Amino acid sequence: MTITQLYYVLAVAENQNFTKAAEKCFVTQPTLSMQIQKLEDELDVQIFDRSKKPIELTDVGKKIVNQARNIVNESYRIQDIVDQQKGFIGGEFKLGIIPTVMPTLLPMFLKTFIKKHPKVKLKIEELTTEEIIARIKEGHLDAAIAATPLEDESIKERVLYFEPFVSYIPKGHRLYTNKKINVDDLDVDDMLLLEDGHCFRDGVLNICKVFKNHLDDKFQLESGSIETLVKLSNEGLGMTLLPYLHTLDINDEEKENLHYFNDPAPAREVSIIYHKSELKMQIIESLQDVISGIIRGAIAFQDVKIISPLPTK
């Protein structure tokens, strides 16, 4: 049994196809198939049910894949230990970011991070929280930036900042004349939300203290982007809530529609998250330091505050 064989098994399990797995592993399909067959012969079990289309794992194959993933991830730790000992910060780093954070936070830190760590090759994907959790567990992401807490024992979290919610209330709305508002003023019946699958939607629902299963009949308008929610609100179709960083890009005319909450303002926790195996920690800590530094020092806050916690080592 070799690490390479286990790596091939994981590739086939992910792609459910030997040819696609071989392409991902940069080997020929016969080579990959032969190595997996050798492993099956050695273990005297069948890992894959090749009669199914697409290929499926057998019951014992599922257990083998779970263990193989642990072994392959741990094998990466050896190089990680060497890199940390040498103080090397470089190599490929796969980072996921949720959609409601990506457009505002990424432009703030990306250029600074690349300039500070030119040997790191960042591969960034915009993913939902559910996709991020799955990819971190499967070893396809090194870390991610998401709203927390996630309460998942296999994932560790380091808080980057707490971002307040800001109400976007168009003229003519019942709350428009209020200089500041309270959470109790919100009515879920006239709010525009992101579609299902966005953690920001869940955060808004929690603020409104309404159960999800009670909402399905009430929401008539849902969108996949915050920018669309603002446009719909401008058309008089309801109010919405925005994460504070999104308000920085709003034009002067639209800023008149921003209404802040009375203290304590509701906020979301944004963290950098990673697998409990703690691989590539030197890069994770560098990302945390750069982002936290920018949040603390690069934004002029006025009526609202974004709280930046000290780095947790």
| pTM for the whole structure | 0.73
pLDDT per residue as tens digits for the range 44-61: 999 999 998 889 999 999
What is the 3-state secondary structure of 102-135?
A: HHHHHHHHHHHHHHHCCCEEEEEEECCHHHHHHH
Q: What is the pLDDT of residue 310?
A: 47
pLDDT per residue as tens digits for the range 71-92: 887 787 787 788 777 777 888 8
Instruction: Please provide residue 294's backbone torsions phi and psi, each rounded to the nearest 5 degrees.
Output: -70, -45
**Does position 124 have pLDDT exceeding 60, yes or no?**
yes
Q: What is the pLDDT of residue 64?
A: 94
Strands 48-49 and 56-57: antiparallel
* Summary mean pLDDT of the chain: 83
Q: What is the pLDDT of residue 203?
A: 55
Name the least confident of 21-25, 27-31, 56-60, 291-295. 291-295
Instruction: Tell me, yes or no, if the two domains 3-83 and 89-162+268-297 fold the same way.
Output: no
User: The domain 89-162+268-297 is classified under which CATH number: 3.90.220.20, 3.80.10.10, 3.40.30.10, 3.40.190.10?
Assistant: 3.40.190.10
* Extents of the domains making up the chain: 3-83, 89-162+268-297, 163-267
Q: What is the pLDDT of residue 277?
A: 85
The sign of the CA dihedral 194, 197, 199, 201 is positive
Q: What is the pLDDT of residue 307?
A: 60
User: The domain 3-83 is classified under which CATH number: 1.10.10.10, 1.20.1560.10, 3.40.50.1220, 3.30.365.10?
Assistant: 1.10.10.10
Greater pLDDT, 170 or 186: 170
CATH code at 163-267: 3.40.190.10
**Does position 311 have pLDDT exceeding 50, yes or no?**
no
**Does position 113 have pLDDT exceeding 50, yes or no?**
yes
